[in-house]
Copies of this chain bind each other. A is one copy, B any other.
Amino acid sequence: MGGAFEAGGMSESAVAAAVGYDELATLKLVALDGGRSGPVKLSCSGVANRLDVSNQTASRRLQRLEEADFIDREVVADGQWITITDAGESALRQEYADYRRIFETPSVVVLDGEVTGGMGEGRHYISLPGYMEQFKDRLGYEPFPGTLNVRLGDDAVRARAGMTALDAVPIDGWEDDERTFGPATCYAASVAVGGDSYEPVHIIVPERTHHDESQLEIIAPDKLRDELDLDDGDAVTVRVEEAEYE
């Protein structure tokens, strides 16, 4: 930790402000040993071994934990009885909540860009019955026959790379008498401009043709330009979310 400097300001987690993360790890160990349901008997050397530090350090960390009122201690001849206080438990819960947010929140990729021209090309393809039926079936709506194109800034182009890690809805390729039509991927998203937001929309990415990475083609049940009152050059925020499709 190198400093009690952490004690000062208002860090993100008030938790560690009082004790530092090393102490928090020590508290976690006590909790793992059952210190939550009642007093547990521990020895500094036992804690020290499991934390891989000297017993002096273990002793001091427990002292600091006690000073911060995260544990109650009673030192006896052959060890000490430790109980985690409410404050200590809530510190642990705070950490727990953070980790839950990390692992249990569906992933999101946020992309900023601006509306750009070209309702053109996409319109023809998505209207084709071979695609349209899949949209209705797998996306749950019949898209407006046209795409909203969004040009991404440099940063968003980079962030876009994370999009491919998200679960998405596959659209199969198909063919008719004359030619074949390639598969595509639809990413669930919402489009926001100012305070207004519209969803569901989907970003459609043709699989084969290597797409212009700075361009997003968006389909939606309605004409987004009307729904969100968009003109070319307007800044929009596209939130790409984890889609549910088995």
The CA-CA distance from A78 to B33 in the complex, in Å, is 45
Which residues of chain B are near A165, meaning CB under 8 Å? 37-38
Contact A99-B103, Cβ < 8 Å, known A8-B52, A9-B52, A22-B21 = no
The CA-CA distance from A41 to B159 in the complex, in Å, is 8
Pairs across A and B, CB under 8 Å, 14 listed? A1-B22, A2-B2, A10-B52, A11-B50, A12-B50, A34-B109, A36-B102, A37-B107, A38-B163, A38-B165, A39-B158, A41-B155, A92-B99, A99-B99
Which residues of chain B are near A108, meaning CB under 8 Å? 34, 37
- Distance in angstroms from A35 CB to nearest chain B CB is 9
Of the candidate stretches A23-31, A121-129, A176-184, A216-224, the one touching chain B is: A23-31
Interface string of A24-65 (1 = CB under 8 A from B): 110011011010111111000000001111000000000000
- Distance in angstroms from A26 CB to nearest chain B CB is 9
A162 within 8 A of B: yes
- Distance in angstroms from A52 CB to nearest chain B CB is 3
The CA-CA distance from A155 to B101 in the complex, in Å, is 39
Judging by beta carbons under 8 Å apart, are B109 and A52 in contact?
no
Judging by beta carbons under 8 Å apart, are B38 and A12 in contact?
no
Select the residue from A11, A38, A96, A163 with max chain B CB neighbours within 10 A.
A38
Tell me if A's interface is mostly helix, strand, loop or mixed.
helix
- Distance in angstroms from A24 CB to nearest chain B CB is 7
Interface size class of A (residues with CB under 8 A): 35 or more
Which residues of chain B are near A12, meaning CB under 8 Å? 29, 50-52
A166 within 8 A of B: yes
Contact A109-B16, Cβ < 8 Å, known A9-B52, A11-B52 = no
Which parts of A97-136 form the interface with B (CB within 8 Å)? 98-103, 107-110
Q: Other than the known A2-B2, A11-B52, what 6 A-B pairs have Cβ atoms closer than 8 Å?
A: A8-B52, A9-B52, A12-B50, A16-B25, A28-B98, A37-B165
Contact A37-B2, Cβ < 8 Å, known A9-B52, A99-B95 = no
Of all chain B residues, which has the CB nearest A21? B21
The CA-CA distance from A8 to B49 in the complex, in Å, is 12
Judging by beta carbons under 8 Å apart, are A51 and B11 in contact?
yes
A17 within 8 A of B: yes
